């Protein structure tokens, strides 16, 4: 699809001195959409970096309340991590199935992704309810405010991701693998994998560095 133009074609010009320019033409809509969504994800990561910065600044400000080591259960976090990691894998399987236009495998992989994501959310909500029930809610100390903001914001993203995932399953049923649906699936996969990347930072910085021996 590339168009080659030659500048300065005049009689008597040395052909070795001609400037040849390659025009690739505009990128396809799939590339433009994917790139735009990538920019959004990076800005989302920048927003999370602000929450990480405030958490790491406030981690010692416990106002004589409990610190990270007393509050967090590593076993719970390990299960959450594995659930999210497996869901990232099945999400990858779903995007392969979408490229192959295999609706059956796509629905199975997306359903497994949704179940794993929901399992992650259940564990996280249970942890939050447990903390609040013990009186260690977000108003207890600056450390806990920062913790609930950071981890809660990630949890909100996962909830929104699950809603988006269910929407994509319904849209594939209703409209099939149209080009616009394929672009949405591409963006959803990017979103879901980016959430897992942010979770890597969360479990390392918040849970493991907080409870390290």
Partner 1 sequence: MSEHAYHEAHGHHGDLAPGEEESVNLGSRVLGYVIGLGLALLLTATSFFIANTDLVWQPSIPVALIVLAIAQMGVHLVFFLHITTGPDNTNNVLALAFGLLIVFLVVGGSFWIMSHLNHNMMPMDQLMQMQR
Q: Rule CB under 8 A: choose which of 5, 18, 43, 135 binds partner 1.
A: 43
Beta strands 3-7 and 19-23, pairing class = antiparallel
Minimum gap (Å) between residue 8 Cβ and partner 1: 26
Evaluate the CA torsion angle 48, 50, 56, 60 in order and state its sign.
negative
Task: Return d(Cα 94, Cα 112) in angstroms, integer.
Answer: 10
State phi, psi for 58 to the nearest 5 degrees.
Answer: -95, 0
5-13, 41-49, 116-124, 125-133 -> range binding partner 1 (CB under 8 A)? 41-49
Q: Which is nearer to partner 1, 35 or 126 (CB)?
A: 35
State phi, psi for 126 to the nearest 5 degrees.
Answer: -60, -40
Q: Rule CB under 8 A: choose which of 35, 69, 166, 173 binds partner 1.
A: 35
Minimum gap (Å) between residue 85 Cβ and partner 1: 6
Residue carrying structure tokens 């399992």 = 119
22 bridge partner residues: 4
Q: x/- contact string, 190-209, with partner 1 (CB under 8 A)?
A: x--xx-xx--xx-xxx--xx
Q: Let me know: does 130 contact 70? Beta carbons within 8 Å.
A: no
Q: How many CB atoms lie within 10 A of CB 35?
A: 11
Task: Return d(Cα 190, Cα 14) in angstroms, integer.
Answer: 50
Which of positions 65-84 make contact with partner 1 (CB under 8 A)? 74, 78, 81-82
State phi, psi for 19 to the nearest 5 degrees.
Answer: -95, 120
Q: Rule CB under 8 A: choose which of 65, 66, 67, 92 binds partner 1.
A: 92
How many secondary structure helices (H) and strands (E) does the chain include? Answer: 7, 2
46-54, 127-135, 137-145, 158-166 -> range binding partner 1 (CB under 8 A)? 46-54
Q: x/- contact string, 161-190, with partner 1 (CB under 8 A)?
A: -------------------------x--xx
Site of interaction with partner 1 (CB under 8 A): 1, 24-25, 27-31, 33-35, 37-39, 42-43, 45-46, 49-50, 52-54, 56-57, 74, 78, 81-82, 85-86, 88-89, 92-93, 95-96, 99-100, 186, 189-190, 193-194, 196-197, 200-201, 203-205, 208-209, 211-213
């Amino acid at each position: 699809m590339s168009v080659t133009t030659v500048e300065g074609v005049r009689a008597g010009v040395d052909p070795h001195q001609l400037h040849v320019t390659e025009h690739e033409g505009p990128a396809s809509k799939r590339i433009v959409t994917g790139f735009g969504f990538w920019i959004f994800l990076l800005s989302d990561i920048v927003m999370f970096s602000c929450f990480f910065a405030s958490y790491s600044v406030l981690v010692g400000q416990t106002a004589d309340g409990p610190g990270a080591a007393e509050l967090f259960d590593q076993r719970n976090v390990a299960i959450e991590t594995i659930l999210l990691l497996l869901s990232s894998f099945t999400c990858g399987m779903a995007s392969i199935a979408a490229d192959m236009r295999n609706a059956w495998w796509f629905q199975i992989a997306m359903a497994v992704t949704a179940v794993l994501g929901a399992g992650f959310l259940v564990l996280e909500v249970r942890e939050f309810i447990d903390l609040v029930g013990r009186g260690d809610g977000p108003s207890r100390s600056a450390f806990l405010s920062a913790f609930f903001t950071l981890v809660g914001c990630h949890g909100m993203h996962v909830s929104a991701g699950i809603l988006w995932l269910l929407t994509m399953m319904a849209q594939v049923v209703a409209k099939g693998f149209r080009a616009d649906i394929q672009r949405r699936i591409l963006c959803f996969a990017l979103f879901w994998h980016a959430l897992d990347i942010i979770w890597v930072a969360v479990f390392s910085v918040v849970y493991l560095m907080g409870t390290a021996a």
